[in-house]
Amino acid sequence: MYRTHTCGELRLANQGTTLTLAGWVQTVRKFGAITFVDLRDRYGITQLLFGESLQAQLDAQPLGREFVLQVSGVVQERSNKNPGLPTGEIELVVQSFVILNASAVPPFTIQDDTDGGDDLRMKYRFLDLRRNAVKKNLELRYAVNRSVRNYLHENAFMDIETPFLIKSTPEGARDFVVPSRMNPGQFYALPQSPQTFKQLLMVSGYDRYYQIVKCFRDEDLRADRQPEFTQIDCEMCFVEQEDILNMFEGLVKRVFKDVKNIEYSEAVQRMTWEDAMWQYGNDKPDIRFGMKLSNLKSAFRKSGQLLATGELINGAGFGVFDNAETVLAIAVPGCAEYSRKQTDELTDWVKRPQIGMQGLVFIKCNADGTYKSSVDKFYAEERLKAIADSAGAVAGDLVLILAGREEKTRKALSDLRLEMGKRLGLRKDNEFKLLWVLDFPLFEYAEEENRWVARHHPFTSPKPDQIDTMINNNPVIEQAAEYLAHPYANIKANAYDMVLNGNEIGGGSIRIFQRPLQEKMFAALGMTPEEYNHKFGFLLGAFEYGAPPHGGIAFGFDRLCSILGGSESIRDFIAVMLDAPSTIDAKQFDELQIQLNLKP
């Protein structure tokens, strides 16, 4: 037996016991004739005391960091206790030891504040994983996994595996492909998600399915994207949107309870996609704080206040506003006292290439009721007040205004809002706010191809009362510039996203389950019957054999874990990073009958 106890479990009660530990050497401290060693394993750290009688053996076999050690000895009370350590009241007086394996000097120290940079830590991930900080992340991931499985099991969901080597049907992201040796010239794809499989399982009558499953998308890497990532993938039969919302907010609340001991008792807020876009500038609003966007142009148009003077809308005033497609504002609480330096810095912030705005206009709503602005020379003070009022500002606020093309301005102000929220400490790590975003558009318009694309995916159903609009209209867009006037532009999807603290953590939809509507959808996306029968004939065929109404959702498991763990990067919550891709042998190419033809 290599060990009788772990390095995390010994307490005063074990005093006098003779036992054996095994683990890694964290530190070695020599004081004259005695040597202290901190021995570490997954469960903790125990101090070892090597007395005088062992010094000769230690000199002959010096211990280094990360050596693997087996020690036997007696537990004794420590004279110099360490209250910061669960085992800090005791130490093991070593009677004998064996070096099970030596270690090269590690390239960084195995402790919470390590001196290894990101690249080094990723290269030696197996050492990085010995660090407590990383281990905690993986423990959290496992806790989320258990909680999810328990909840879904209690609610009659069945975990059913689906294949990884599938037919390529790219829609949305790019597929990873795998050559088939047995069928030269043919390729499998790795699934972007088990979407069509889970729908087939519904047709088969497995009315509550789930899987914690790897998905593969050949996308460019970002901190929050990985080519392979894990989803909590779920599907249910005989459900409407409301059933899904209830079931899965239950799931997330259960995870909060099990993993963070947070009682999320309030109902999860709901918001339409349109409100999210207008009020927060994006479809995954962080609702931990307000600071909503105001549309100054339409506000003034409605009230006519400034329009009548011609100042804000029709020339005569500040040219940038007059000529802009849109003018949007946020009122930042308590920042009216910003110095020139601070407002200049914010202006630079919006001018950075990532944001790309030309400039930033501000109005300070001073506590004494006066107004001060970067566009003072264009507007009298009462006009500034009117603008600030329509941005919902009160005394003490700093109104920040951006103008330009609608989409870009909205995105920029949304980013600025999040930045100000962060700077003002309004986006607290330990506060969790869930939100359902509903009523997404079913289609988006792809300008380059002059056709519709599915905003979620092609299996998403329109709202029940809009099915007729979809069936009865020709999807072809005659006038590209007027696509917004096409009836398809207004069709809403029976789809929902779950948002946590400004991150989309899950999304899904009620599905199309009848062949004619599914065919209409494929046609709307520009596919010919030959194309959709070739790619999705299996699903269309299955819909002819008693497909029940169904719907589902998938959560991004890695991201959910990273948010619960208070980290920005999902990589911190994934165990192993591989040194891949790489080239393959000539023999492998030969077997696959593939010849490389790399473009220079």
Residues in contact with ligand ASP by CB under 6 A are: 193, 195, 507-509, 552-554
We find the least distance from the C-beta atom of residue 505 to ligand ASP, in angstroms, to be 12
Contact 493, 508 (CB under 8 A): no
CA distance 356 to 457: 31
Strand-strand pairing, 158-159 and 208-216: parallel
We find the least distance from the C-beta atom of residue 522 to ligand ASP, in angstroms, to be 17
**Residue length of the chain:** 600
**Residue whose CB is less far from ligand ASP, 462 or 508:** 508
Return the CA Rg of the chain. 31
We find the least distance from the C-beta atom of residue 211 to ligand ASP, in angstroms, to be 11
We find the least distance from the C-beta atom of residue 456 to ligand ASP, in angstroms, to be 6
**Residue whose CB is less far from ligand ASP, 326 or 509:** 509
We find the least distance from the C-beta atom of residue 212 to ligand ASP, in angstroms, to be 13
**Residue whose CB is less far from ligand ASP, 462 or 552:** 552
**3-class DSSP string for 451-500:** EEEECCCCCECECHHHHHHHHHCCCCCCCHHHHHHCHHHHCEECEEEEEE
CA distance 171 to 535: 10
Q: Return the DSSP state at 441.
A: B
Which residue carries 């969790």 as its tokens?
A: 432
Question: What's the one-letter identity of residue 181?
Answer: R
**Residue whose CB is less far from ligand ASP, 211 or 390:** 211
CA distance 103 to 65: 7
CA distance 202 to 204: 5
CA atoms within 13 A on the CB side of 12: 7
CA distance 570 to 557: 9
What are the structure tokens assigned to 157, written together? Answer: 């969901």
**Residue whose CB is less far from ligand ASP, 362 or 459:** 459
We find the least distance from the C-beta atom of residue 195 to ligand ASP, in angstroms, to be 4
CA-to-CA separations, 67 to 18, 43, 187, in angstroms, rounded: 23, 17, 47
**Residue whose CB is less far from ligand ASP, 195 or 295:** 195
**Residue whose CB is less far from ligand ASP, 116 or 506:** 506
**Residue whose CB is less far from ligand ASP, 234 or 296:** 234
**Residue whose CB is less far from ligand ASP, 195 or 282:** 195
Helix (H, G, I), strand (E, B) or coil at 590: helix
We find the least distance from the C-beta atom of residue 431 to ligand ASP, in angstroms, to be 27
We find the least distance from the C-beta atom of residue 584 to ligand ASP, in angstroms, to be 30
We find the least distance from the C-beta atom of residue 273 to ligand ASP, in angstroms, to be 16
Strand-strand pairing, 228-237 and 269-272: unpaired
CA distance 285 to 271: 10
Neighbouring-strand partners of residue 72: 20, 96
We find the least distance from the C-beta atom of residue 475 to ligand ASP, in angstroms, to be 22
If one counts every other C-beta atom within 10 angstroms of the C-beta of residue 6, the result is 16
CA distance 270 to 437: 6
Which residue carries 């194309």 as its tokens?
A: 531
CA distance 532 to 523: 8
We find the least distance from the C-beta atom of residue 241 to ligand ASP, in angstroms, to be 12
Contact 157, 208 (CB under 8 A): yes
We find the least distance from the C-beta atom of residue 574 to ligand ASP, in angstroms, to be 18
**Residue whose CB is less far from ligand ASP, 152 or 293:** 152
CA distance 157 to 155: 6
We find the least distance from the C-beta atom of residue 210 to ligand ASP, in angstroms, to be 11
**Residue whose CB is less far from ligand ASP, 94 or 498:** 498
Which residue carries 């891949």 as its tokens?
A: 580
Neighbouring-strand partners of residue 371: 365
**Residue whose CB is less far from ligand ASP, 126 or 538:** 538
CA distance 365 to 342: 16
> What are the backbone dihedrals phi and psi of residue 375, each rounded to the nearest 5 degrees, phi first?
-120, 35
**Residue whose CB is less far from ligand ASP, 116 or 552:** 552
**Residue whose CB is less far from ligand ASP, 390 or 509:** 509
We find the least distance from the C-beta atom of residue 193 to ligand ASP, in angstroms, to be 3
Strands (E), 203-295: 208-216, 228-237, 269-272, 294-295
Question: What's the one-letter identity of residue 349?
Answer: W
